[in-house]
Amino acid sequence: MAQLARQLVEALEGLLGVPVPLRVQVWDGSVAGPPGAPTLVLRNRRALRRLLWQPGELGLARAYVSGDLELAPGTDLYAVLTAVAHFAERPEIRRLRLRPADVLGPRGRQALKALLRAGALGPDPAPPAEEAGTAQGRRHSRSRDRAAISHHYDVGNDFYGLVLGPSMVYSCAYWEPAAKSLEAAQEAKLDLICRKLGLRPGMRLLDVGCGWGSLVLHAARHYGVTAVGVSISAEQVALARGRVAEAGLADRVEIRLQDYREVQDGPFDAISSVGMAEHVGTEQYRVYAEGLYRLLAPGGRLLNHQIARRPEHPGEAYRPSPFIDRYVFPDGELSPVGSTVARLEEAGFEVRDVESLREHYGLTLREWVANLEAHWTEAVRLAGRGRARVWRLYMAASALAFEENRIGVNQILAVRTGPDGASQLPASREEWLLRRSATAPHQQGPAGAPADSDFGDRPSVR
């Protein structure tokens, strides 16, 4: 057993035909693999069985979440994930199709002998408890969506507070040159959305998937709007309502425990949807887009902030990450940005602007991972070790996915034009991105101009 790690690595490399990119330390203390490479620690035979029964990201995630697999002291999680991702993308691995002759031939027999010696050929261990249970009901029905949202968002407001920081904003920040902290960058993002929507006093705003209420609070406090925020996460709604009351804005901000499909009290002057459309699903996206169109007043604007996937081939169907689908966002779906634009246009919207914030999300996720790691003991106390490990793994992997352009995120600004086709948007992008006044936000429009001057003369629906 003294050289068990070496035997396992050699058997694996012989079977795959390529060197492994990681060092491996097994339960007998032996270590093998490339010198200087990130090191994984297999704490027991169960870790190896998880990797064998579910080769790929799901087995690796289950082993890590359960605690059967650890990172060696000083090993960087980003380095491990980068090595694994690049290994999976190697042409030899992508082309690999093991035939029975490979498994039963000399290389396969050597691997089987090594695994037998390691006691790894046992039954598939049960998944860690943090894995979402078998989904019930029709996909993207209201009841199933509520269960999926609860799995992700009802982890605990205190836990999210540790990860997100005081802003309590769970979408990518906007890292302007002046933004020196996560909180400043999140405020810049909230303000960017309000400016794109052309908010001004007296307007009525709907925030679909309002989270913990940060956007509606910002819009009411700095732009003088009345706002309705809807969410189907009970814990989010409870905290958002408390924040509204504490801010003294209960007369202008309403938080509802409500599905977006149940909102009937339009019209609204503006609608925001930030990080929510990923939960809608392909078959429901037309319902989503047409519903928002009906709720918006003529001349009103929609800001749709949504993560996008990059298909390798035209028309490629969405294939969810097994780890993300089972542990993080059950039933979540990502679409190419072009498909999202097309669905909005089919619903009647005129799409006026698309801005990619891909790099901004990588920076934001790294800040969230740092927050989690800095408060690790408290996070484990609040959510459990397994749940904390899920969040650490998914956020770090997502940061790399954004940085390496495997996924993106876009703000799409669309308008419901009037009967005469007028958009009521300013003539240039520079005009509608002008900043609000920092001195009298409820009385003046961007850059200190009169409130109506930069946003045309469309009236509020109120």
CB-CB contact of 293 with 348 (8 Å): yes
**Do 321 and 394 reside in the same domain of the chain?**
yes
**Do 217 and 93 reside in the same domain of the chain?**
no
Please, is 231 exposed, middle or buried when counting C-beta atoms within 10 Å of its C-beta (0-12, 13-18, 19+)? Answer: buried
Whole-number pLDDT of residue 456: 35
Q: How far is CA 250 from CA 237, 240, 244, 247, 298, in A?
A: 14, 11, 6, 8, 27
**Do 246 and 149 reside in the same domain of the chain?**
yes
For residue 337, what is the domain's CATH number?
3.40.50.150
Evaluate whether residue 100 is within a structural domain.
yes
Q: Give the strand order in the sheet containing 69-71.
A: 31-32, 23-25, 39-42, 69-71
Evaluate whether residue 451 is within a structural domain.
no
**Do 294 and 161 reside in the same domain of the chain?**
yes
Evaluate whether residue 123 is within a structural domain.
no
Own/partner contacts of 47-52, CB < 8 Å, gap of 24 or more, are: 48/8, 48/115, 48/118, 48/120, 49/120, 49/121, 49/122, 49/123, 49/124, 49/125, 50/124, 50/125, 52/115, 52/120, 52/121
Evaluate whether residue 129 is within a structural domain.
no
Last residue in a domain, options 117, 133, 166: 117
Whole-number pLDDT of residue 128: 83
**Do 88 and 163 reside in the same domain of the chain?**
no
**Do 261 and 362 reside in the same domain of the chain?**
yes
Q: How many domains does the chain have?
A: 2
Evaluate whether residue 67 is within a structural domain.
yes
**Do 83 and 180 reside in the same domain of the chain?**
no
**Do 217 and 327 reside in the same domain of the chain?**
yes
Evaluate whether residue 262 is within a structural domain.
yes
**Do 343 and 422 reside in the same domain of the chain?**
yes
Whole-number pLDDT of residue 301: 97
Last residue in a domain, options 82, 117, 152: 117
Which domain range does residue 292 map to? 142-432
Evaluate whether residue 175 is within a structural domain.
yes
Own/partner contacts of 344-347, CB < 8 Å, gap of 24 or more, are: 344/289, 344/302, 344/304, 344/412, 344/414, 346/286, 346/289, 347/286, 347/289, 347/290, 347/292, 347/293
> pLDDT of the chain along its 462 residues, tens only?
448 888 888 877 776 777 888 999 998 899 999 999 999 999 998 888 887 777 778 888 999 999 999 999 999 999 999 998 888 777 766 655 545 544 445 555 566 666 666 666 667 788 887 776 555 666 666 666 566 556 566 678 999 999 999 999 999 999 999 889 999 999 999 999 999 999 999 999 999 999 999 999 999 999 999 999 999 999 999 999 999 999 999 999 999 999 999 999 999 999 999 999 998 988 889 999 999 999 999 999 999 999 999 887 666 666 777 888 888 877 678 999 999 999 999 999 999 999 999 999 999 999 999 999 999 999 999 999 999 999 999 999 999 999 999 999 999 999 999 999 999 898 888 888 876 644 334 433 333 333 332 333 333 443
Whole-number pLDDT of residue 54: 77
Last residue in a domain, options 84, 117, 150: 117
- The C-alpha atoms of residue 362 and residue 173 are separated, in whole angstroms, by 10
**Do 348 and 402 reside in the same domain of the chain?**
yes
Whole-number pLDDT of residue 447: 33
**Do 218 and 106 reside in the same domain of the chain?**
no
Evaluate whether residue 452 is within a structural domain.
no
**Do 36 and 156 reside in the same domain of the chain?**
no
The alpha carbon torsion through 92, 97, 101, 104 (nearest 10 deg) reads 90
